[in-house]
Structure 1
Amino acid sequence: MTIVLATPGSDGLDAAVVALREWQSDAAPRQLHPGDVGWFWQLGAQATAAAVRTWSRDGRILAVGLLDGPGLLRITTAPETRRDRELARSVIADVIEPGRGVLPEGAVDVEAPPDALILDQLLEAGWVAGEPWTPLHRDLTEPVPPPAGRIEVVDADRVADRVEVQRAAFGGSSFTTQRWQAMAAGSLYRDARCLIAYADSGAAAAIVTVWSAGPGKPGLLEPLGVHPDHRRRGHGTAITVAAAAALRELGASSAFVCTPSGNLGAVPTYVSAGFQPHAEVRDAHRPG
């Protein structure tokens, strides 16, 4: 059967998320997670649905992509179709041929699992490896020790603190109270939780949002940040431990996160919180 590309819209978004949940596995490499879609939901349900793409054969979804910005397609596939040549050819044609509308001309990136044929074929077509990222993973079979310091769950009274740290930790962030409210109103936030670490002074020092993919599935930390005024004081480790504990409470089998390898402070922080680094991964990049 022919591979069919679709923008599922609001009505079909649930099917794409169900597929993403099913494909999550502790044995699989880092891939697009339902939490990535949940975090995108800060832009609203309509924008989220418009950013999702699915590739199907005979009515079954084989690949799900998220247009995470104008020049980045994040995509994963059903585990058994990672090396499916027909699927890879179809996805690549939809991505790089003019007029298909998935990615614009010029400099763009495609993120896919490192064992996906899609990445191999893009590199063979003249794309180059993008910046390195380090995936990290923590098993949640055993209970997580309590984190140090004061950790609170974000509610309506703490949204301002959540937003303040997000904007301070990530330069150029456009996160707002309204965006948090849109994200929290989304269906995927039912399996998520936002946490804040507070300094002894009472100031909000670090934040994280964690996303479960369901019981027995790996959960995602996205995003995690520490306010510049409170770095190198243990708040990053504390909020990371708290994130792992929250995911275990949500039924996750493990916790994972992926950070730019060039962020020299991030990897040691995650390691100090019990996460194990794995081999670096890279997107496929087409220079402008």
Structure 2
Amino acid sequence: MIEAAMIWNEPNNKSHWDPELDPDWSRFAEMASLAGDAIASQNRAVTRVLGGISPIDPGFMGRMRDFGVLDHVDAVAVHGFPLDWNLWQIDEWPNRLEEIRTVTHLPVWVSEVGVSTFGAEEVQVWGLKRTAELLKGRAGRIQWYSLYDLPSAWEATTRHKEAEGSSYYRHFYMGLLREDGSPKPSLEEFARHTPDLGLVQWFHYEDPRLEDAVAWMKRLGVTYVRTGLSWADSFRPNALDWFDRQMKALEDFDVTVTFCFTPEDLGIAPHHTSPPLRPEGFAEFCAWMISRYAPADVSRAARQMELRPGL
């Protein structure tokens, strides 16, 4: 079920990692290296992926290489949204991948790519088609973000909220399906590119869309999916029941699970983007999740189901 474990999400984006608390990313590098080793300790068959970077920055990737992080993972990943947020044109995608390949020998995945319908739904159709033309055959994984629009009553995971102007509101229109579940014109175009293209769908805690999402993904011919298991959410009431339900629902897909988000009381600052006080705590969470949902020794799985490490 779990084919890959992604270590954090967009570590070079201040919406997901606080650069004021870790200006040279040395704290992140230590945490990521520990997490990579922890994942391998539970199941070496799970591909360890460095969290997809956004922006696509070979300088950041070179820093991770120099810190030794790339010795603890099996692949690296990038995120790109040239029609919405990035300051480069969509036809530059092949060059952007090559920039990363100049600083690492590891496989490069595109673990998030997408186009919003903020301006017009027809833009998403064209952007999806062109993205597929540019990326198919150039990356081991191409994961389209996302299946659903973000509900308007929820908040987007970004640090500056409405102060970002239209950039903030684009977060809410990235789906192939509208908030009410109705299909956009791009849904039909996406189906032409499966199974080459997979999907990214973040499921919030006890997300009511889970079962419908699985049905849609099967209908579309999707075979691989990226989602997340939140370290912060693991401290919520009945968190394991939700994690079990989510992973059970996705068992028919090849799943990349992203581990991220610092619990407020375990961070240097009380925020999910903060480096943890104990980087070992995040590594322990990663090991716990792999032992529960992707154990190398299946006979050990039942014993692990009731164990929780001292975080």
TM over 0.5, yes or no? no
Give the structure-2-normalised TM-score. 0.29
TM-score normalised according to structure 1 size: 0.30
Which is strand-richer, 1 or 2? 1
